[in-house]
Amino acid sequence: MRSDDAGIDPMDHEAGDGWEVARPLGGTPLGGVRMAGFRDRASAGLDLQVLPQPAVTVVIGLGDAPFTVEGTAGHRPLRSFVAALSPGPARIRGERVECVEMRLSPRAAHALLGVPPGELTGAVTGLEDLWGRHERRLREQLTDAPTWRERLTLVNGFLAERAERAPSMTPEVAAVWDDIVARRGRVRVADLAASCGWSRKRLWAGFGAQIGLTPKRAAMLVRFDHAARALRAGGHAADVALACGYVDQSHLHRDVLAFAGCTPTALASRTTSAG
């Protein structure tokens, strides 16, 4: 495809369903950060449901048209926003969308957002509420930058500066989260507590304060995320239940209903992101 960065090695471009997607080749230099730029070339508009996932999503809108965020608190126009790990019912709509999206692990979110994921209030939070004037300045710079390469380089530089003075997550909490992710949510809380040398009560309190979920809920979320990806890739519910460690298909059905508010069949056909 032809794009404003054609022939530039540091960028990887894709196009599908009218969307241009730009990713930095080799990922980002910061651990726990995935990033991409999106542009709606077909002017089809954006209409997606925000699903729980084991990452904090940050979206920085470019240009003048804000997103419309619909949730339990009603409708809010936001130019940039943050969606927590388990955001509850939320829907994002937008026209002529052009944005940079980041997916942050809880450890990266703890460092880069300025607050632990557990302190994010509401389903979707305005990024300006967390970064203040720094968000406005970054958004202006991104809007003015002529190429995706320059835009993603700007974001990487901005995040690197924040990382230098960022608070760190408690090592025990970070290790437990990493264990849950590595084992795809198929863990026992007692084993997690034993692995970090904490009591179950201490782990429950410390993990919840920094991650925003209990260890058990976090394990359920990671398992659900793997199941949701498999379902959207065309997997049969019974096969997905077995592969993802559910007791049976009914168990999968209950978890999908709890996290996504729909059946596995409906989830398989649902649009959940611009890319």
Question: What's the predicted TM-score (pTM) here?
Answer: 0.87
The dihedral of CA 43, 92, 68, 99: what is its sign?
A: negative
pLDDT tens digits, the chain, 275 residues: what are they?
A: 233 333 333 455 555 578 899 998 777 888 899 999 999 988 888 888 888 999 999 999 997 889 999 877 678 899 999 998 987 778 899 998 999 999 999 999 988 998 888 888 667 889 999 999 999 999 999 999 999 999 999 999 999 999 888 878 899 999 999 999 999 999 998 899 999 999 999 999 999 989 989 999 999 999 999 999 999 999 999 999 999 999 999 999 999 999 998 999 999 886 544 33
All domains of the chain, ordered by start, with CATH?
11-164 (2.60.120.10), 171-268 (1.10.10.60)
- What HEC string does the chain produce? CCCCCCCCCCEEEEEECCEEEEEECCCCCCCCEEEEEEEECCCCCEEEECCCCCCEEEEEECCCCCEEEEECCEEEEECEEEECCCCCCEEEEECCCEEEEEEECHHHHHHHCCCCHHHCCCCEEEHHHHHCHHHHHHHHHHHHCCCHHHHHHHHHHHHHHHHHCCCCCCHHHHHHHHHHHHCCCCCCHHHHHHHHCCCHHHHHHHHHHHHCCCHHHHHHHHHHHHHHHHHHCCCCHHHHHHHCCCCCHHHHHHHHHHHHCCCHHHHHCCCCCCC
